[in-house]
Amino acid sequence: MENVLIVEGGTPLRGSVRVSGAKNAGLVLMVASILAEGETILDNMPRIRDVEVMIQILNEIGVEAKWNENSLSIYSPSGKIKTKTSYELTRKLRASNLFLGSLLGREKEAVISLPGGCDIGSRPMDLHLKGVQALGAEVQIEHGYIYARVKDPKGNNVYLDFPSVGATENIMMIAVKTPGTTIIENAAKEPEIVDLANFLSSMGAKIRGAGTDVIKIEGVEELKPVRYAIIPDRIEAGTFMVAAAISGGEIMVENVIPTHIYPIIAKLQETGAIVKETESGILVKSREKIRPVDIKTLPYPGFPTDMQSQMMALLCLAEGSSVIVENVFENRFQVVDELKRMGASIKVEGHTAVVEGVKKLYGATVKATDLRAGAALILAGLAAEGQTTIEDAIHIFRGYENIEQKFNSLGAKIKVY
Ligand code: UD1
């Protein structure tokens, strides 16, 4: 299986690139589609590994899916579907924990494999469970599985201690089919939450406030299958924007919703890059000097943790030192050791990384420890002198569609082995 990327550094990237549909919106919409019976069509779906695994999980519970270019048809049968997801598949994809809400919403029962540890830190499910329990679910954890069942579901108020994206999505998916009113307080506000709300609303759900920290949902009896186009991937967009800045090039990033990427635009501008909103997309022009900036990752609309590693790669080449504070996932600095192999100067203490800019990065053999770390290593490789070999590149294919073709169309020299 293709698992190594080789990046030949030193070419400024130029041209335009079209962003694919959002991975994190696509995945949750696939899970939500089982709330209706019949054929759901999701347009603008990225053809990436994570989506392929999600298709396998759907198949496992008795739901078929078929591709037609970038449209995915999901055939949700009438009658009962299976309510258990296997460890073998779910361990490959943490977003599989979203079946908790959708299976409870549809079948009143869900048996979900616990997610276990993860490359980017522990991912507890306490808030997901608190949410479904508030709506009447009984939950037991045995042999690595969550057994959840709801006999008499009823809307309720749920306060989230942290605006968790997954917990908000799970609660939304059970609440749309739960009689009465559910109010999620301190809900996540990510664009993917709004996309889920829009999708569910088009199916007939009654949801207000998605995109703010209070989401109000009135349960309905039935949801209808629809055709729906997924929003563009703001993290893929951000990755190409950084590519322009780090390679000394100029890239037009097409198919973006500018409001979704304002935090990224703001930070890139602080580094000195020129970022312009145009009719065809976001134009990013590099400037010779990269200024150091400080970054704190936060829930939306703060700076996204999923862009932290890519920005770190850029700041490795800044003139001065930058401070990056990771507030969302505790283990998101694994890329540091890999960047250091390329000549970067970074010190980590707890949640804080101090990046001392260096004049040059050099090609080396490195490992993609997770999806975004992998993207950061491509970016570093584009700017580095010589050849960078990225092992475990499978992590990158999990979340980026046609990544090497897209980069190569901008003049990069990337090969996959
Ligand atoms: C989603 C995204 C991921 C992104 C993250 C934060 C998907 C498929 N993945 O992940 O790309 O990086 O949002 O924007 O959409 N937490 C708890 N208890 C819980 C749930 C979460 O303490 O029950 C904590 C986590 O440990 C973490 C923080 O909340 O520190 C954020 O997690 P969450 O927003 O839930 O992220 P995911 O939905 O897993």
Question: What digits encode the pLDDT tens for the residues 27-64?
Answer: 999 999 999 999 999 999 999 999 999 999 999 999 99
| Conformation bin of residue 168: beta by default, left when phi > 0, alpha when psi is -120 to 50 | alpha
pLDDT at residue 120 greater than cutoff 80: no
pLDDT at residue 376 greater than cutoff 50: yes
Every domain range in the chain assigned CATH 3.65.10.10 = 5-19+232-416, 23-225
CA of 249 to the centre of ligand 1 (A): 33
CA 131, CA 150: separation in Å to the nearest integer?
A: 12
CA of 372 to the centre of ligand 1 (A): 15
CA of 68 to the centre of ligand 1 (A): 31
Q: What is the best residue among 122, 328, 371, 400 to mutate for testing ligand 1's pocket, by most ligand atoms within 8 Å of CB? A: 328
What is the pLDDT, as a whole number, of residue 146? 94
Catalytic residue among 59, 66, 88, 118: 118
Paired tokens of 402: 């046609």
Q: Which fold has domain 5-19+232-416?
A: UDP-n-acetylglucosamine1-carboxyvinyl-transferase; Chain (3.65.10)
Task: Determine the average pLDDT of the residues in 175-204.
Answer: 98
In Å, what is the CA distance from 33 to each residue of 41, 49, 93, 122, 221?
9, 19, 18, 28, 15
Amino acid at 184: I
Nearest atom (ligand 1) to Cα of 130: 23
Distant-in-sequence, close-in-space partners of 94: CB < 8 Å, separation ≥ 6: 115, 118, 123
Question: What digits encode the pLDDT tens for the residues 139-177?
Answer: 999 988 999 999 999 999 999 999 999 999 999 999 999
Q: What angle do CA 376, 414, 397 make, to 5 degrees?
A: 60
Q: Which residues line ligand 1 (CB under 6 A)?
A: 24, 27, 95, 123-128, 162, 164-167, 188, 192, 305-306, 328-329
User: Is 316 marked active-site?
Assistant: no
CA 84, CA 113: separation in Å to the nearest integer?
A: 8
CA-based nearest residue to 312, from 285, 336, 343, 330? 336
CA of 129 to the centre of ligand 1 (A): 14
Instruction: Band the pLDDT of 213: cuts 50, 70, 90.
Output: very high
Paired tokens of 17: 């690139």
- Burial class from Cβ neighbours inside 10 Å (0-12, 13-18, 19+) for residue 295 reads buried
What is the pLDDT, as a whole number, of residue 122? 61
Give nearest CA residue, ligand 1 atom 9.
Answer: 24
CA 385, CA 407: separation in Å to the nearest integer?
A: 17
CA 68, CA 91: separation in Å to the nearest integer?
A: 27
Give nearest CA residue, ligand 1 atom 17.
Answer: 124
Instruction: Band the pLDDT of 117: cuts 50, 70, 90.
Output: very low
Task: Determine the average pLDDT of the residues in 348-365.
Answer: 97
What is the pLDDT, as a whole number, of residue 47? 98
Q: What is the best residue among 165, 193, 196, 300 to mutate for testing ligand 1's pocket, by most ligand atoms within 8 Å of CB? A: 165
Task: Determine the average pLDDT of the residues in 83-108.
Answer: 94
CA 378, CA 389: separation in Å to the nearest integer?
A: 9
What is the pLDDT, as a whole number, of residue 349? 96
CA of 173 to the centre of ligand 1 (A): 16
Nearest atom (ligand 1) to Cα of 330: 30
pLDDT at residue 368 greater than cutoff 60: yes
Instruction: Band the pLDDT of 121: cuts 50, 70, 90.
Output: low
CA-based nearest residue to 85, from 50, 59, 46? 59
pLDDT at residue 82 greater than cutoff 60: yes
Question: What digits encode the pLDDT tens for the residues 243-265?
Answer: 999 999 999 999 999 999 999 99
Question: What digits encode the pLDDT tens for the residues 268-302?
Answer: 999 999 999 999 999 999 999 999 999 999 999 99
Q: What is the largest CA-CA distance in the chain?
A: 64
CA 359, CA 343: separation in Å to the nearest integer?
A: 9
Q: How many helices (H) and strands (E) does the chain have?
A: 14, 23
CA of 165 to the centre of ligand 1 (A): 5
Give nearest CA residue, ligand 1 atom 33.
Answer: 164
Task: Judge whether 239 and 401 are in contact, CB under 8 Å.
Answer: no
| Residues facing 9 on adjacent strands | none
- Which overall architecture, per CATH, does domain 23-225 show? Alpha-beta prism (3.65)
pLDDT at residue 116 greater than cutoff 90: no
What is the pLDDT, as a whole number, of residue 330? 81
